[in-house]
Structure 1
Amino acid sequence: MLTVPVRQLGESERRAVERLLDLDPFAGAQVAERIAARGLAWWRAEGRVLGYGSRRSLESICWLGGNLTPVLATEPAVAAYADLLAGEERLCSSIVGRADAVLGLWDRLSAVWGPARDVRPNQPLLATEALPALRADPEVRLVHGSEIDRLFPAAVAMYTEEVGVSPLADDGGRGYRRRVTDLVRAGRAYARFVDGQVVFKAELAVVTRRTAQVQGVWVAPDWRGRGIASAAMAAVVRDALLRVAPTVSLYVNDFNLPARRVYERCGLRPVGTLATVLF
């Protein structure tokens, strides 16, 4: 029997939640962005925030929405979350967060939530607060609203290559196109165009007061191996640090050695390890 029950948190505990998120600003960035924008009320946030610990001493939180994301989850917290979630139907499309917590959850939930489409157990989490020493590509810039039709096919190609399924599958891509459009309008989508075609792209998919998290990094297949990625990423990191947030962060699959070399050249250094379970 659990001595410290898991409970759903509400707006009255927002300060305690924000204090926890400040302790893990990179791995908890997605959760921090959602809570900053929508608060903790489930009907407004499009997800639930579960808490582990007493009302006087909150120890860990777990976001449950489109993704399941544990933050600062110790082994007892992981066990408590899993005990609760094992009795619920799986609605999330992934579990993502610090590797020890994600893999601990999956060990306990796989029998009832499985099988997974893919498990990525080792994803280095990288961050920097320093401008890249590398020269930035001057042709990498923010995408204009009039260029969404040119950007969208590249975004679909990146998503399909990275995740293993097409974002067009469920609703013909309407939801994904809204996401891409929102990023462009918010000044968070970058690209390099050559003859009207995207040859490099990246987005600041998550922005908090502590970090801008880069996702969706992609080089067109015909342009791979030409050495454009490092200078292009340097342009993204430089602009994000000067204009958006005090740090830039991202996570990458451990087996993607070319990308890891690019990020190292841009000054990004390891700050932890994430894991992702994809359904």
Structure 2
Amino acid sequence: MQTTRQGVRALGTSDLDAFLALAQQDPVVNVFALYRARTTSLEPRWLGGEVWGRFLDGELVAACHVGANLVPIQATADDARAFAERAMTRSRSVSTIVGPHDAVQVLWNSVSQSWGRPREIRWLQPHLVIDGPPLVMSDPLVRRTTRQDMPALYPACVAMYTEEVGVSPELGGSSDLYRARVTQLTSRGWSFARFEGGRVIFKAEVACATSYAAQIQGVWVPPDRRGEGLAIAGMAAVVEHVQAEIAPHVSLYVNEWNQAARRVYKAVGFRETTRFSTVMF
């Protein structure tokens, strides 16, 4: 495969071992990249995009996942600029740039003139992890969801996404795709919720996982039930489920300004390890 003057080229299946070794340098921060690599073997037809690698003296030193999300992996500022140079040779296809703050900031500064105005930028999102038991009692009513729960679960997922991202996941006729994603997570045993009177009053999902780490997304309590401690006890239950059956390290990242959520995660026992940033188009 052709390598550019910046040492960047698309990776393939023959690069899988080198890529896994690179991402394993930080297996919690890079859980998304490791999950995608292990489930696709870096086959473009399964990736729905590409993974770029940067090589110095023949050694893979950094990578970048380029699909719906552009995600830098173990990238220094120089690596991020090299990936940005390649990115600017094509029109923007990604909906987000997300990952460790320093690399995302360099990437965005490099492509911003070409890729247009983003819908929103969220800088300095605390990346949190817990690798021991929760510090609080868990909610025994939080359980894995099933397909039979979809009539109540799906509207809760739409409400969470719309509140968090600022647009509905059903926008532009995408409801079938989003419903399929919610169903997929449920089928994998990666969706957890507490129901009361046929209504979701707490929920969270595993977004991606390896045998070492799992990343949580979609934590939500309906607005009229907030302030009751449902999120603290619910997250403790999710941590227990995930650590017992999926992975021992549980991570997530949260908006810096969301003090209520940050208090919840601190109470459960999460600690900050680094900062992420997200640029959304």
TM-score (norm 1): 0.97
The DSSP-based 3-state class of the residue aligned with 1:23 is coil
Once the two structures are TM-superposed, the CA of residue 133 in structure 1 deviates from its matched residue by 2.4
Give the structure 2 partner of residue 243 of structure 1: 245
The whole-number CA distance in structure 2 between the counterparts of 1:43 and 1:35 is 12
The whole-number CA distance in structure 1 between the counterparts of 2:267 and 2:124 is 21
Once the two structures are TM-superposed, the CA of residue 176 in structure 1 deviates from its matched residue by 0.5
Aligned AA (1:19): A
Q: Deviations over 1:138-174 (max 9, x none)?
A: 1111112211121000000000000111000122411
Structure 2 stretches lacking a partner, 5+ long: none
The whole-number CA distance in structure 1 between the counterparts of 2:177 and 2:40 is 19
Determine if contact 2:194/2:200 at 8 Å carries over to the other structure. Answer: yes
Aligned AA (1:195): G
The DSSP-based 3-state class of the residue aligned with 1:106 is helix
The DSSP-based 3-state class of the residue aligned with 2:24 is helix
Aligned AA (2:129): A
After TM superposition, the structure 1 = structure 2 runs for residues 51-200 of structure 1, keeping only pairs within 5 Å, are: 51-54=53-56, 56-200=58-202
After TM superposition, the structure 1 = structure 2 runs for residues 263-278 of structure 1, keeping only pairs within 5 Å, are: 263-278=265-280
CA root-mean-square deviation: 1.2
Give the structure 1 partner of residue 49 of structure 2: 47
After superposing on structure 2, the runs of 4+ consecutive aligned residues of structure 1 that deviate more than 6 Å are none
Once the two structures are TM-superposed, the CA of residue 36 in structure 1 deviates from its matched residue by 0.7
The whole-number CA distance in structure 1 between the counterparts of 2:151 and 2:67 is 29
Give the structure 2 partner of residue 256 of structure 1: 258
Determine if contact 1:4/1:52 at 8 Å carries over to the other structure. Answer: yes
The whole-number CA distance in structure 2 between the counterparts of 1:258 and 1:118 is 21
Once the two structures are TM-superposed, the CA of residue 189 in structure 1 deviates from its matched residue by 0.5
Determine if contact 2:122/2:278 at 8 Å carries over to the other structure. Answer: yes
The DSSP-based 3-state class of the residue aligned with 2:65 is strand
Determine if contact 2:28/2:249 at 8 Å carries over to the other structure. Answer: no
Compare 219-228 and 193-202 and name the one that shifted more.
219-228
Structure 1 stretches lacking a partner, 5+ long: none
Give the structure 1 partner of residue 230 of structure 2: 228
Equivalent of residue 33 in structure 1, options 32, 35, 40: 35
Count of residues in correspondence between the two structures? 278
TM-score (norm 2): 0.96
